[in-house]
Amino acid sequence: MSINEKRENDGQQYKREQRNAYVRIMLMVNIVFILLLITLGVIALRVNNVLPEDQDIFFVVGKNPSFEIGDGEGKQWKNETNVNIFKSVYKDGKGEAVVISQTGDKVLAPGSTSSYKFAMYNNGNMAVMYETDIDFALLVNGKESTTTQLPLKVRLYTDSGKYLIGSETEWKNINDVEIDSYISQLGASSYESFTLEVKWDYESGNDELDTLLGNQSAASDGKNNEGVSVDLNINTYAEEHIDPTAKGGTVVNEDGRDEVEHGGTVRLLWFILLFINIGMLLFYIAWLLNKRLNKW
Partner 1 sequence: MLKNKYIKLASILLILCLITSCVISGTLAKYTTGGTATDSARVAKWGVNISVVGDNAFKTAYGTTVVSSDTDNVVAPGTKGTLAAVTVSGQPEVKVNYAVNVDLELTDRWSVGAGKDYCPIVFTVKSGSTVVATVYMKSVGENQNSALELELEKAIIYALTGKNTATADGTGSQHSVERNAGTSLSADITVEWEWHYDGESVGLPAGAVNTDEYDTYIGSLPTAPNISFSLEISVTQIV
Per DSSP bridges, beta strands 190-199 and 250-251 are: antiparallel
Among 45-53, 158-166, 252-260, 279-287, which window interacts with partner 1 (CB under 8 A)? 279-287
Q: CA 133, 163, 117: angle at the middle one, nearest 5?
A: 70
Cβ-based neighbours of 85, under 8 Å, separated by 6 or more:
114, 116, 196, 198, 232
278 binds partner 1 (CB under 8 A): yes
Distance CA 203, CA 215 (A): 18
> Of these, 68, 159, 243, 261, which contacts partner 1 (CB under 8 A)?
68
- Which helix (H) or strand (E) is 133 found in, with range? strand 128-140
Q: Is 36 or 100 the residue whose CB approaches partner 1 more closely? A: 100
Q: How far is the CB of 118 from partner 1 (least distance, A)?
A: 7
Q: Does 227 bind partner 1 (CB under 8 A)?
A: yes
Residues between 94 and 133 with contacts to partner 1, criterion CB under 8 A: 96-102, 105-112, 118, 126, 128
Choose the binding region for partner 1 from 39-47, 163-171, 217-225, 253-261 (rule: CB under 8 A). Answer: 217-225
85 lines the binding site for partner 1 (CB under 8 A):
yes
Please state, in angstroms and rounded to a whole number, the distance separating the CA atoms of residues 252 and 186.
11
How would you classify the pairing of strands 128-140 and 182-186? antiparallel
Query: Which of 174, 228, 248, 263 contacts partner 1 by CB under 8 A?
Result: 228
Q: What angle do CA 58, 60, 64 make, to 5 degrees?
A: 120
36 touching partner 1, by CB under 8 A: no
Q: Which amino acid is at 254?
A: E
Q: How many residues bind partner 1 (CB under 8 A)?
A: 76
Smallest gap from residue 25 Cβ to partner 1 (A): 18
Which 229-248 residues touch partner 1, going by CB under 8 A?
229-240
